[in-house]
C-alpha cells in the first residue's frame, strides 16, 4: 500500500484470500466466517482504496451467496471467484490504459503526479505505437513515489522525462499541454488521489491546462462508499522529533470533479 497503485493493492489483497484454501476447516460455516473475518481485516488495512474494498467484498459475497455444501466446494469457489475478480480489475485497468493511449496526442508535453501504473501503461502503449512525449513528474512528497515513476519512464523509448518538486508544478504549467493523473477513486463529485493532487489540478484549471484522469471504471463510484483518509507517520515529513509543533501527514486529498476536463476508463474518454 505504500509503494503500489490502488489497482495493484486490490489485486494483491484479493489474492491474499486464496491462502485460506490451504487451511483445514471442519464446516462450511467455519470457513465462511474465517473468509469474512480475513476480508474485513484486508478492507480495514486501507479503507481509502475503493477498488480494494469492492474486490474483496465481491469474493466474500459470491462465496456466501452460493451456499456451498462442502468445505472443498467453498474453497474451489473462492479460488474461481478470486481469479475472476482479479481478471476484471486487470482487464479494466489495461483497457483504460489502451483508451488513454489512443487519446494522448503525439508530441505533447505532459505533467503527472506521484506513481500511477495505469498512466505508465498508457504511455508505454502509446510510445510502442510510435508516439513521443515530454513528461514532467512531481516527486510526490513525502514518500517520493514520483521518483519511482520517473525512473520507469526513463527506461522507455519515446519519453523525455523530467523530475520536479511538487511545489514547482505551477512554475512549469506554461510549458504543459495536459495534466494526466491516475486516481484512487472518484466518489460522486470528488476525486480522491495522492496528496498534492488538488493544488496541482486547481492550478492547471486556473491556467486553462487540460486535466485528464485515467483509471478503471471500478474506481468510479456513484454512491455507497465513504472515503477514509490515511494519516501517516510524522517521521516521513521530518526525522527530527517535533518540538513545539505538530506534524500532519495526510496520504490523500479531495479534488472537485468540476476542475477536471476528462475521465478515461475502459469505456473511453468522458467529460467530467
Domain ranges of the chain: 6-93, 94-271
| CATH match for 6-93 among 1.20.120.420, 3.40.80.10, 1.10.287.130, 3.30.43.10 | 1.20.120.420
**Regarding beta strands 190-194 and 185-187, do their DSSP bridges make them parallel or antiparallel, or are they unpaired?**
antiparallel
Quick one: pLDDT at residue 81? 95
Locate 250 and state its grid cell.
495526510
Quick one: pLDDT at residue 223? 66
Q: pLDDT digit string (tens) for 228-271?
A: 888 999 999 999 999 999 999 999 999 999 999 999 999 999 99
At 145, which helix (H) or strand (E)?
helix 145-154
Quick one: pLDDT at residue 1? 45
Handedness of CA 232, 235, 237, 242 (dihedral sign): positive
Quick one: pLDDT at residue 49? 73
What number of other Cβ atoms are within 10 A of residue 225's Cβ?
Answer: 16
Q: Does domain 94-271 have CATH number 3.40.50.10470?
A: yes
Quick one: pLDDT at residue 183? 92
Q: Within the chain, which residues score under 70 in pLDDT?
A: 1-5, 48, 223-224
Interatomic CA distance for residues 145 and 52, integer angstroms: 20
Interatomic CA distance for residues 181 and 111, integer angstroms: 8
Quick one: pLDDT at residue 215? 93
**Regarding beta strands 262-265 and 210-214, do their DSSP bridges make them parallel or antiparallel, or are they unpaired?**
parallel
Quick one: pLDDT at residue 225? 75
Interatomic CA distance for residues 263 and 238, integer angstroms: 35
pTM of the model as a whole: 0.78
Amino acid at each position: 500500500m505504500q509503494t503500489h497503485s490502488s489497482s495493484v493493492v486490490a489485486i494483491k489483497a484479493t489474492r491474499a484470500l486464496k491462502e485460506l484454501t490451504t487451511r483445514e476447516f471442519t464446516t462450511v460455516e467455519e470457513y465462511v466466517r474465517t473468509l469474512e473475518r480475513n476480508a474485513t481485516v484486508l478492507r480495514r488495512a486501507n479503507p481509502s482504496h475503493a477498488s480494494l474494498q469492492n474486490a474483496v467484498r465481491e469474493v466474500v459475497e459470491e462465496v456466501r451467496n452460493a451456499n456451498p455444501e462442502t468445505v472443498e466446494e467453498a474453497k474451489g469457489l473462492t479460488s474461481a471467484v478470486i481469479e475472476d475478480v482479479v481478471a476484471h480489475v486487470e482487464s479494466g485497468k489495461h483497457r483504460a490504459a489502451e483508451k488513454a493511449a489512443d487519446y494522448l496526442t503525439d508530441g505533447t508535453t505532459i505533467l503527472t503526479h506521484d506513481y500511477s501504473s495505469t498512466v505508465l501503461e498508457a504511455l508505454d502503449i502509446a510510445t510502442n505505437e510510435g508516439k513521443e512525449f515530454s513528461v514532467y513528474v512531481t516527486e510526490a512528497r513525502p514518500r517520493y513515489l514520483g521518483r519511482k515513476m520517473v525512473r520507469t519512464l526513463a527506461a522507455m523509448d519515446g519519453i523525455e522525462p523530467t523530475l520536479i518538486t511538487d511545489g514547482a508544478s505551477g512554475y512549469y504549467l506554461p510549458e504543459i499541454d495536459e495534466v494526466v493523473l491516475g486516481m484512487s477513486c472518484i466518489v460522486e463529485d470528488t476525486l480522491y488521489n495522492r496528496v498534492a493532487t488538488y493544488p496541482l489540478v486547481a492550478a492547471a484549471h486556473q491556467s486553462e491546462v487540460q486535466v485528464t484522469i485515467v483509471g478503471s471504471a471500478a474506481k468510479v463510484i456513484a454512491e455507497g462508499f465513504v472515503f477514509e483518509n490515511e494519516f501517516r507517520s510524522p517521521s516521513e515529513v521530518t526525522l527530527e522529533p517535533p518540538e513545539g509543533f505538530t506534524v500532519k501527514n495526510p496520504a490523500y486529498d479531495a479534488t472537485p470533479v468540476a476542475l477536471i476536463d476528462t475521465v478515461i476508463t475502459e469505456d473511453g474518454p468522458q467529460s467530467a
